[in-house]
Chain A
Amino acid sequence: MEHLGTSLGPALGLFLSSSGTFLKDVAGFLGSYYTGIAIMNAVFALILWQKKKQTGWAIFWAVFASVMMILASLALSGSSTLVPGLPLASRHLVNRLSGPVLYTLGTTALFTILFVFRKFFVQPMVAWSVLNIALVLMGLSMADENFASIVMKPDNVPIVGLVFLLAFFTWVATKQAVVNDERIRQGLPPMEKLADEKVLVWPDLVYTELICMVGVSAFLLLWAICLPAPLEEPASSVKTPNPSKAPWYFLGLQEMLVYFDPWYAGVVLPSLVVFGLMAMPYLDFNKKGNGYYSIEERKFSYLVYQFGFFELWITLIILGTFLRGPNWNFFGPFEYWTPYKVEVLNNVDLPQMFWVNLLDQPLPRAPQGAGTLSQIGYILLREAPGLLLLGAYLVLLPPLLAVTVFRGFFAKMGFIRYMIMANLMLLMLTLPLKMILRWTLNLKYLVSIPEFSLNF
């Protein structure tokens, strides 16, 4: 709390303390926040009104803007009975319900709904409503001290921006893709093809660039003036902060450490991500959808990319930043980050499950004084269940898929390209699969060979 006060405080005129003055401290911020939403909606209503097409909506958003102004004045009061916020009971409920499982399943469900009903969600009025709901929920949550202390950490502010930017640009792209897909279905060329007359770069592009530069500079200056860069105590190699976190853009990788050892989550998987991205243009043999927004024409590559980007990168970053506290324990969005939270870890390795729990035998172990080869033999025997499973997954599954689900792909891609694609896909899926195994079976490692620091 102290840290937030020293960094955000002077800029926004608030001085946060850990005592009961929190609401007074954020009053200025929340007041301007709701005023901002009100102005945004008033302008939107005015534009609609002038177009004289959707006057009903114009009135609706004008009324909404006035409601936001009321919220702004309530927030400015800084009084615990007036500042709009989520009821304490509902905050407790959210904290109680939330956990890695629900978070992952919830975001997956959300993305699925958005994708399946994309024609509905891209409509301007629907998108605008969703934006406003998100903004209001955000404002209501900000009245919670625990939520605010994490979200308003200076280095976390960019992630909040990222979430809204991603939502906005996904809307922009999907809107055009939906139109193009419909046109292509009717046998018409995509919208991008219609405006293919040429214009001079001076002035059309050069001026756009200039305006962009001025806009970005202004935005950056404003950001730099309002939000001081964080500076904590001088470095000390003996005082380990809890939690210790990597920079925010690597927190998805840090989150993977819950499920895998560092050699895989921190080295092999990131390398595979880079390799996979580079390989993508050579694996995607689909010639359609080049140079215009489209989903239907390239559904497979679209879904794979979106799954990797949103599900395995962005949501994990958000989880790692906002919901992982001391000892990397999961904390609900409105929960206090206490270092004393204890989570029971009773994860079991597969050999233990197989030999001990299932067959009721001790783990195979080399007799005293056995040679190296025999020791390795015993390790292989001990790890046989996991190794066989992994082998089947990585060796048998690609050819099996090639003659079933991916029959068409295999025919078009040829052996090498197909094998690279299939293996990259399967390796990418190791993460969600391991998550599911952890949640359902408490599985720690499929293969655990501490003798060679090789756990998977």
Chain B
Amino acid sequence: MAIGETIRNSQIWKSIFRHPMPLDRRNRIVVMLTNFFLHLHPVSIKKQGIALSFTWCMGGVTFFLFLVETVTGVLLMFYYRPTLEWAYNDILALRDVTSLGILRELHRWGAHAMVITTWLHMYRVFLTGSYKPPREFNWVIGVILLLLTLLLSFTGYLLPWDQLAIWAITVGSNMARATPILGYEGPGQQLLTIGGIDMITDASDARFGLLGARFVGEETLNRFYVLHCIAIPLAVALLLAIHFWRVRKDGGISGPL
């Protein structure tokens, strides 16, 4: 006990934690106000609002899974090269050679779980009517986050570069080919014809923009890799920040008025 005491009274400890141990009521309040990670939360909260039967904890679990995906994703990036030559072999090596051989499993199942928990979180928010004023806009941000979660999962699906990956992405991205006006098999693409020259071809339509090529190939792998590892996570991080901030600003966890 004495060692603990000495550590907690040391200059180093005190310089890191700006508050004493949260053992009494006063310090339990102080800790929430002075800790960077905790200040996301209010100091006190309605008891009903944190009942598991009410919130299901699914928003929190989704965020935690996002963190898991970030950490395991960074570790995976150490081993994985997004090129036709290496992508599949690196995944094989991850399974057979690398220590901690369940890294890809954690990442993949975490991603599936994140899709499911996002749906469940949304379901709970709907069922408790928590999208109603003043939380309308936060619901809208939530819908965008849902879309980005699906896109994160979708772009990640391609990276192992096996049969499962490229054909799932082929089937999915074939839809873009049929985009009205902007897809070369879509209705109305004939309208974008100037002087007899089609503006929308299989090398200039929406699908080409998504894949970076006419077919799912090396350009697609690179494009999806960058989207998966950088672009979408950054967008998600920004929107998450706003999402959490709005939860606080709109009155915290919802409850009967």
Complex CA distance for A208 and B58, rounded to whole angstroms: 12
Contact B171 A254 (CB under 8 A): yes
Cross-chain contact B116 with A165 (CB below 8 angstroms): yes
Tell me the minimal C-beta distance from A235 to chain B in angstroms. Answer: 4
Interface size class of B (residues with CB under 8 A): 35 or more
Min distance, Cβ A291 to any Cβ of chain B, angstroms: 4
Residue numbers of B with Cβ under 8 A of A are 22, 25, 28-29, 31-32, 38, 41-48, 50-54, 56-57, 60-61, 64-65, 68, 88, 91-92, 95, 102, 104-106, 108-110, 112-113, 115-116, 119-120, 123-124, 126-133, 135-136, 139-140, 143-144, 146-147, 150, 153-154, 157, 160-168, 170-172, 174-180, 183, 185-190, 215-217, 254-257
Contact A176–B53 (Cβ < 8 Å): yes
Give 1 or 0 for each of A266-277: 1 = CB within 8 Å of chain B CB.
Answer: 111000001001
- Known contacts A201-B42, A236-B163, A281-B136; is-contact A231 B106 (Cβ 8 Å): no
6 closest pairs, A vs B, by CB? A266-B175, A224-B105, A281-B136, A262-B178, A454-B187, A158-B112
Distance of A228 Cα from B160 Cα, bound (Å): 14
Whether the pair A192, B168 counts as a contact (CB closer than 8 A) is no
The total of chain A residues at the interface (CB under 8 A) is 94
Closest-by-CB residue of A relative to B67 is A213
Q: Are B41 and A235 in contact (CB under 8 A)?
A: no
In the complex, are the beta carbons of B132 and A281 less than 8 A apart?
yes
* A291-B171 in contact given A224-B109, A239-B163 (Cβ < 8 Å): no
* Chain B residue with Cβ nearest A158: B112
For the complex, would chain A's binding face be called helix, strand, loop or mixed by DSSP majority?
A: helix
CA A330 to CA B54, docked complex, whole Å: 39
Known: A169-B56, A192-B48, A206-B38. A235 touches B161 (CB 8 A): yes
The residues of A that contact B256 with a CB separation of less than 8 Å are 189-190, 192-193, 196, 290-292
Are B180 and A268 in touch, CB under 8 angstroms? yes
The reply to whether A292 and B178 form a contact with Cβ atoms under 8 Å apart is no
Given pairs A158-B112, A454-B187, 15 additional interface contacts (CB within 8 A): A158-B109, A194-B48, A201-B32, A201-B43, A204-B47, A216-B64, A220-B106, A225-B102, A235-B162, A261-B178, A266-B174, A268-B180, A280-B139, A288-B129, A453-B178
A196, A227, A293: the one contacting B109 at CB < 8 Å is A227
